[in-house]
């Protein structure tokens, strides 16, 4: 193994661990950072050195550029990997790293400005004749200006925060009568959330598919694609299920190569370096429209790793070290799906963090769990409430869905036990929702649009009769006596509730 200089990972959670694993395998020693809230966090354990950077609030710690650069200097780091979120898409941070003599693992500040900024990106793709969602090219300053674009493209429209991300800062407007108050409301929200109230307008595409292209550039004007991912299953405009290949593109075979070509063309134009993702909306007729580019590693990159066999983080690090010769686009095999397990209410999708008592994540052939939580960890209110990504691969989509169903049935996340043995705490998870999702006929059929959840209220409906432990046990005993096997094997109980084989066993042991 070649020895490399250390890499500082300016992040936390599952992505810090994921990057550590590859870095260490390639001979890059890892420097971790942690906040007050992360003193006992798992990502610290995966590093060769770890440094405290500040209080729990991100601006004191994971966004604290000065402290992070100080740590880089003290630790002897040569590279800085930003992960996703936090500082990953801030050109000023790239420049600050360079000024400090560090190598930022990602694109140059210049290409980040051209593509990572939503407004600038719209102008960049316009200049290259890549279709984008109709709407304003730049920021709209007043509601009247927004209304005039809305009139041009037709209602409904979406007001979107220029600084938005993670699905936040969007508001649907159905008619001119609503636009003035919607504009004020959305602007206020964006100021609160991002410290920047700038808005732009887009036509709202109805029943859309979200399809994105993974690219990788060498920073010298050559880029390749690594296939697509479809992420149409979303809640609150944020993905919960991502897969490759995109089922919608199987219906429109000409669309796929056209999207690859557009993404690679733009990436080459901005001399993009490293991993990046072009997000598009695809409508029911197979037309595609550019949405935005994420100039970083994406949450759902494991899906691409499954179908291509490429370790994207290895490519990022080797490119930064000047040791990657960009190959041709890799062939893609089989079908991969990822779901995001969140600490959130499965009916309302509102975050519900809290301490963890027990966590069992699925493993097995072609099953991958990316998480930063062990038993007795805690999902804190300070950061993203994602608990784990669970992803699977299989030769066909149908088999991948079945493999995922089993993986989700095996997953367990529980609050800590009280002294009397019962579990109690504020933690809720979307596991029961994911188990319903993987059994949903539309999902299994692969024709999903971003309004899937709205159209399928059964996915989020409260359980009509949540079977109590006693009731389930009584039923199992009855079925055992009548030789029908335990209740958990009976499809209706297992499928309709968040009862799992494991929780039944635990009941028996009591």
Rule CB under 6 A: choose which of 109, 282, 299, 427 binds ligand ADP: 299
> From ligand ADP, Mg ion, none, which one binds at residue 300 (CB under 5 to 8 Å depending on kind)?
ligand ADP
Q: Work out how close the CB of 292 gets to Mg ion at its nearest, in angstroms, rounded to a whole number.
A: 5
With contacts defined by CB under 6 A, how many residues of the chain interact with ligand ADP? Answer: 30
Decide: is 459 part of the binding site for ligand ADP (CB under 6 A): no
* CB closer to ligand ADP, 243 vs 414: 243
- Of 289, 270, 272, 267, the closest CA to residue 280 belongs to 289
**DSSP per-residue codes, 451-474:** THHHH-GGGTSPPTT---HHHHHH
Rule CB under 6 A: choose which of 14, 202, 230, 338 binds ligand ADP: 202
Decide: is 292 part of the binding site for ligand ADP (CB under 6 A): yes
Q: Work out how close the CB of 196 gets to ligand ADP at its nearest, in angstroms, rounded to a whole number.
A: 9
- Of 444, 440, 445, 489, the closest CA to residue 460 belongs to 440
- Of 430, 263, 290, 417, the closest CA to residue 355 belongs to 417
Q: Work out how close the CB of 318 gets to ligand ADP at its nearest, in angstroms, rounded to a whole number.
A: 22
Non-local CB neighbours of 459 within 8 Å, separated by 6+ positions = 433, 436, 437, 440, 452, 453
* CB closer to ligand ADP, 164 vs 227: 164
How many other CB atoms are there within 10 angstroms of residue 382's CB atom? Answer: 18
* DSSP H or E stretch at residue 125: helix 118-127
* CB closer to Mg ion, 89 vs 279: 279
Decide: is 238 part of the binding site for ligand ADP (CB under 6 A): yes
Rule CB under 6 A: choose which of 11, 35, 187, 234 binds ligand ADP: 234
Decide: is 13 part of the binding site for ligand ADP (CB under 6 A): no
Distance in angstroms (rounded) separating the CA atoms of residues 156 and 172: 7
Q: Is 51 helix (H, G, I), strand (E, B) or coil?
A: strand
Q: Is 277 helix (H, G, I), strand (E, B) or coil?
A: strand
Q: Work out how close the CB of 279 gets to Mg ion at its nearest, in angstroms, rounded to a whole number.
A: 5
Residues 139-158 that bind ligand ADP (CB under 6 A): 158
Decide: is 133 part of the binding site for ligand ADP (CB under 6 A): yes
- Of 337, 389, 349, the closest CA to residue 232 belongs to 337
* CB closer to ligand ADP, 234 vs 497: 234
Residues 367-406 that bind ligand ADP (CB under 6 A): 384
Ranked by CB distance to Mg ion, the top (closest) residue is: 279
Strands in 7-9's sheet, in edge-to-edge order, are: 49-54, 30-35, 7-9, 79-81, 103-104
Decide: is 305 part of the binding site for ligand ADP (CB under 6 A): no
Determine contact, residues 143/180, Cβ cutoff 8 Å. Answer: yes
* CB closer to Mg ion, 268 vs 292: 292
> From ligand ADP, Mg ion, none, which one binds at residue 78 (CB under 5 to 8 Å depending on kind)?
none
> Per-residue x/- mask for ligand ADP, residues 76 to 105, rule CB under 6 A?
--------xx--------------------
Ranked by CB distance to ligand ADP, the top (closest) residue is: 165
Rule CB under 6 A: choose which of 218, 300, 370, 409 binds ligand ADP: 300
**DSSP per-residue codes, 314-363:** HHHHHHHTT-----SPPP--SEEEEEEEESB-TTT--B--EE-SEEE---
171, 271, 296, 397: which one is catalytic?
A: 296
Residues 28-47 that bind ligand ADP (CB under 6 A): none
Catalytic residue check, 296: yes
Q: Work out how close the CB of 229 gets to Mg ion at its nearest, in angstroms, rounded to a whole number.
A: 12
Residues 265-284 that bind Mg ion (CB under 5 A): 279
Distance in angstroms (rounded) separating the CA atoms of residues 382 and 57: 6
Angle value at C-alpha 390, between 386 and 396, nearest 5 degrees: 145
Distance in angstroms (rounded) separating the CA atoms of residues 200 and 313: 33
> From Mg ion, ligand ADP, none, which one binds at residue 298 (CB under 5 to 8 Å depending on kind)?
ligand ADP
Residues recorded for the chain: 510
Q: With contacts defined by CB under 6 A, name the span among 179-187, 232-240, 374-382, 461-469 that binds ligand ADP.
A: 232-240
Q: Work out how close the CB of 494 gets to ligand ADP at its nearest, in angstroms, rounded to a whole number.
A: 30
* CB closer to ligand ADP, 241 vs 504: 241
Decide: is 274 part of the binding site for ligand ADP (CB under 6 A): no
Distance in angstroms (rounded) separating the CA atoms of residues 389 and 13: 11
* CB closer to Mg ion, 299 vs 496: 299
Q: How distant is the alpha carbon of residue 341 from its chain centre?
A: 10
* 3-state helix/strand/coil string of 287-320: CEEEEEEECCCCCCHHHHHHHHCCCHHHHHHHHH
Determine contact, residues 110/124, Cβ cutoff 8 Å. Answer: no
Give the residue ranges of DSSP H helices in 367-451.
Answer: 397-410, 431-439, 441-445
Q: Which residues belong to the active site?
A: 296
The residues that touch Mg ion, with contacts defined as CB under 5 A, are 279
Q: Which residues lie near ligand ADP (CB under 6 A)?
A: 84-85, 133, 158, 163-167, 194, 202-205, 208, 210, 234, 237-239, 279, 281, 291-292, 294, 298-300, 384, 450
């Amino acid at each position: 193994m070649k020895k490399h200089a250390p890499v500082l990972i300016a992040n936390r959670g599952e992505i810090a661990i994921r990057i550590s694993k590859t870095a260490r395998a390639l001979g890059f020693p890892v420097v971790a950072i942690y906040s007050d809230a992360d003193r006992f966090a798992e990502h610290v354990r995966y590093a060769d050195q770890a440094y405290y950077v500040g209080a729990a609030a991100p601006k004191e710690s994971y966004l604290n550029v000065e402290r992070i650069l100080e740590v880089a200097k003290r630790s002897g780091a040569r590279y800085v990997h930003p992960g996703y979120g936090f500082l990953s898409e801030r050109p000023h941070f790239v420049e600050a790293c360079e000024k400090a003599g560090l190598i930022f693992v990602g694109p140059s500040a210049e290409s980040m400005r051209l593509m990572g900024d939503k407004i600038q990106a719209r102008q960049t793709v316009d200049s290259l004749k890549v279709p984008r969602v109709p709407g304003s090219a730049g920021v709209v300053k007043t509601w009247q200006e927004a209304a005039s674009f809305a009139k041009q493209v037709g209602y409904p429209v979406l007001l979107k925060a220029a600084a938005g991300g993670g699905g936040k800062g969007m508001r649907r407007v159905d008619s001119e009568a609503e636009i003035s108050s919607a504009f004020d409301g959305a602007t206020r929200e964006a100021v609160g959330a991002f410290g920047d109230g700038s808005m732009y307008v887009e036509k709202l595409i109805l029943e859309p598919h979200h399809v994105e292209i993974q690219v990788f550039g060498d920073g010298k004007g050559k880029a390749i694609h690594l296939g697509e991912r479809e992420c149409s299953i979303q809640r609150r405009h944020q993905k919960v299920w991502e897969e490759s290949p995109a089922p919608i593109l199987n219906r429109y075979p000409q669309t796929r190569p056209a999207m690859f070509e557009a993404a690679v063309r733009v990436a080459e134009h901005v001399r993009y370096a490293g991993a990046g993702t072009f997000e598009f909306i695809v409508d029911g007729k197979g037309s595609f429209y550019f949405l935005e580019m994420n100039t970083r590693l994406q949450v759902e990159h494991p899906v691409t790793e499954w179908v291509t066999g490429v370790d994207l983080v290895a490519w990022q690090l080797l490119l930064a070290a000047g040791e990657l010769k960009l190959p041709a686009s890799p062939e893609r095999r089989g079908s991969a799906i990822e779901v995001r397990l969140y600490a959130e209410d499965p009916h309302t999708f509102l975050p519900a963090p809290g301490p963890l008592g027990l966590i069992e994540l699925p493993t097995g052939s072609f099953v991958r769990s990316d998480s930063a939580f062990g038993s007795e960890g805690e999902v804190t209110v300070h950061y993203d409430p994602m608990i784990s990504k669970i992803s699977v691969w299989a030769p066909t989509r149908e088999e991948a869905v079945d493999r995922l169903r089993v993986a989700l049935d095996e997953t367990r996340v529980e609050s800590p036990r009280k002294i009397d043995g019962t579990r109690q705490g504020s933690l809720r998870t979307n596991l029961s929702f994911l188990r319903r999702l993987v059994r949903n006929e539309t999902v299994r059929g692969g024709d999903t649009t971003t309004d899937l959840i709205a159209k399928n209220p059964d996915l989020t409906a409260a359980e009509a009769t949540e079977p109590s432990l006693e009731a389930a046990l009584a039923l199992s005993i009855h079925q055992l006596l009548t030789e029908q096997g335990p209740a958990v094997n009976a499809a209706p109980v297992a499928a309709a509730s968040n009862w799992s084989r494991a929780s039944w066993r635990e009941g028996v042991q009591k």
